[in-house]
Every structure is written in C-alpha cells, then in structure tokens.
A and B are shown apart, each in its own frame.
Chain A
Amino acid sequence: MNASVKSARVQSLFQEIFASATQSASESLRGWTSGQISLELDDVHELPMEEVTSQLEVGEEMLTIIALTLEGELGGQIILTFDEENGRQLAATLLNRELNLEGDWSALEISALKETGNILACAYVHTISELIGKNLIPSPPHFIQDFGASVLQQAVMAQAMTSDRVLVCRTTFLRGKEALDWRVFFVPDHALLSEIHATVQSAS
C-alpha cells in the first residue's frame, strides 16, 4: 500500500493530524451539547481488512448510525455509531426531553442526531482540509439503523478496492470523565489517504 503508515515517525505524524481533527470536532461537539460531551483520539489503526470489525469491536448488534460521505476527488466516510440507549439519550438531552426507549424514532430525534453528526464531521473534515490544503466536501448526514459490521465494512470498501489493509481512526466519547458507548470512525479513501501521507512526508 503506497500510503501505508510505514514508520514510527510517520505513524506519529498521522496521529498528530488526526488528533488535531479530533480536537476540533470535540470543541464543536462541546458547544453543541452545552459542554457535556467531548471526544479524544484513541489511536490510528492500520489493520488487515478481514480483522476490521473484530479489532474495532463492531460486532453483530444493531446500531444507530449517522454516516457522511466525503464527495469529490478526495473521498472517505465518517461514521458515528450509538447503541439504541445511547442514541436515544443523546436525542433526549439535545431536545431537553425525558428519555424514552419505546417506539419508533421521531423525525425530531433523527434530526437531532443527524445534526450532531454534521457538526462533528464538518469540524473534523475542515481541520484535515486545512492541513492538506485541499477541499473536502461532506455529504448530508444519513440516519441508519443496521448491523454495525455491515456499515463499517461498506465504509472501508473504498480502501479495500486497492489494498488488503485499511486505515481507520478510533475515538472515545466522554461525558465529563465518563466514557460513553459512542464511537466515530473516519475512513479516508485511497486518494485522500495519499494526500494525507504526502503532507506527513513533507513535514517529516
């Protein structure tokens, strides 16, 4: 893979870029949730394709997912996942309502989650866009309820076209100091990964 993370130095620079993007997303998310929710970058993984879902602990359970696609020459996927309770809890908090775990999701609840994904993704992508000096265009957010592994596999498909290994970033969401069972995955496609790699190489 041309754009693979080849050395500890390059790995460290990759980590810096994605940590910076995560920091921007965290600040935006704190603003959106009145300071309640933040996020931290755990690590940048390069994994064999067949191990993606098991290594990232995205299993067979049904998840609530907000997915955005980067459109244009440089592509990728940003996927925000919640289990049912955490997704409902976030919507209830944002809408200042009592938590209700019964029944279908209302249009308002879906809209609140979509906006969360939109705010997080735009901040994240904007930082990477500035670092690499290229325009990145996120799509409108999609609300999906599906098996987590199905969605993550689709997200890594663009990398799977050209490589048997895929690069993904994993983060932890926090309410205060308490880790939440939310996850966000950023999966750049090969072209974007090459641009990030070129930026890293010129900086190293």
Chain B
Amino acid sequence: MTQALASKKEPLVGMGQVVMVGRADLSRAVLGSCVGLVLYHARLGIGSLAHIVLPSSEGRQGPPGKFADTALPFMLKSLADQYANRSGLVAKLAGGANMFGGQGPIQIGHSNAEAIRAGLEDVRIPIVGEHLGGNKGRRVTFETESGDLHVEIVGEPTATI
C-alpha cells in the first residue's frame, strides 16, 4: 500500500491500491469494472486516488483500497493526516464498465459505483464529477493542480471531469 505522497513520475495505481497525491502532482489508473475514486481538497491542492475492485469487504481482510467500504475510511484518514478535513473534500468517480460486452463472469461495475456513492453520501462528501458505465476500459489521470480528472477511452476524445 502506497501512503506516501505520489511523485511526479505519475504513479500507476494498481488494483486495490490507494495513493495520496501531493500539490501539483499527477496520478493515473487503468480501469475496467473497477472504479477510480478521487477525493480532492481544492484549497490545500492535495487529493487521493483509490483503485476500488469490489463493493464490500464483508469483513474480509485485504488491502484497504480493494473494497469500497474500506477504501473510503482509509482515504479520509490519510487525507486528515495531511490536514485535509472532510468538509473541504469533493469526490470524482470513473470506471465501473461492463467489460466484454457484459458477457464476462463478474460484472460488478455498477455495484462498485453504487457502493461508493452510498459511502460518500454517508459522510456527506459531494460528488462533483462522474464518468461511469459503458463497456470499455478507461485510463484516468488525476492532477491536483486543477483538480481535473482526465478520462480516456479507446477511440473516443478525452473527457475531463
């Protein structure tokens, strides 16, 4: 688990990982049915990116970023440790695709997104941008300088939320 502030090498956030992203830094993830959750504190210019794989831990152990119900508390604590309190945070979500045209074995994208939305509502963090669903993978790049989350899909123009 990476807890240190991300470097300027644009770290690629793997399945189940969470990174803190410092001022003027970038972080990336490639997503399928997983959901990338960004929490961003505009005044401090820092944020966190989680690559969430499954909606619920159901009490199981694992990397905190793997499950929606463990990723959010872990991100909030990591941000609070950097003086980024909950009241100043906003959220952005991307990913949650139904890969293989919805024919694959585990189509969990929608459940992931719903679990994250519910968790954010519980802690009253507003969602200011979403880019979810469909049946294609996404490459996302989060930049703290602007708070932008750039979303690339093969064959489509880049979207920014």
Give the interface of A toward B (CB within 8 A). Answer: 49-54, 60, 62, 67, 69, 75-77, 139, 142, 144-147, 149-151, 153-158, 160-161, 164, 189
Give the interface of B toward A (CB within 8 A). Answer: 12, 14-17, 28, 30-34, 51, 53-54, 62-63, 66, 97, 99-101, 103-106, 108, 136-139, 154-155
Say yes or no: A150-B31 contact (C-beta < 8 A), given A157-B106, A160-B15.
Answer: yes
Q: Would you call B105 and A69 a contact (CB within 8 A)?
A: yes
Q: Would you call B136 and A146 a contact (CB within 8 A)?
A: yes
Q: Would you call A50 and B31 a contact (CB within 8 A)?
A: no
Main secondary structure on B side of the interface with A: loop
Say yes or no: A154-B100 contact (C-beta < 8 A), given A145-B154, A161-B54.
Answer: yes
Q: Would you call A153 and B32 a contact (CB within 8 A)?
A: yes
| In the complex, chain A residues whose CB is within 8 Å of the CB of B62 | 164
Say yes or no: A50-B14 contact (C-beta < 8 A), given A150-B32, A153-B34.
Answer: yes
Say yes or no: A160-B103 contact (C-beta < 8 A), given A50-B17, A60-B139.
Answer: no
Once the chains are docked, how many angstroms separate the CA of A159 from the CA of B136? 21
Q: List 13 A-B contacts (CB under 8 A).
A: A50-B51, A50-B63, A69-B103, A76-B105, A139-B103, A147-B139, A149-B30, A149-B137, A150-B137, A153-B30, A153-B33, A160-B15, A164-B63
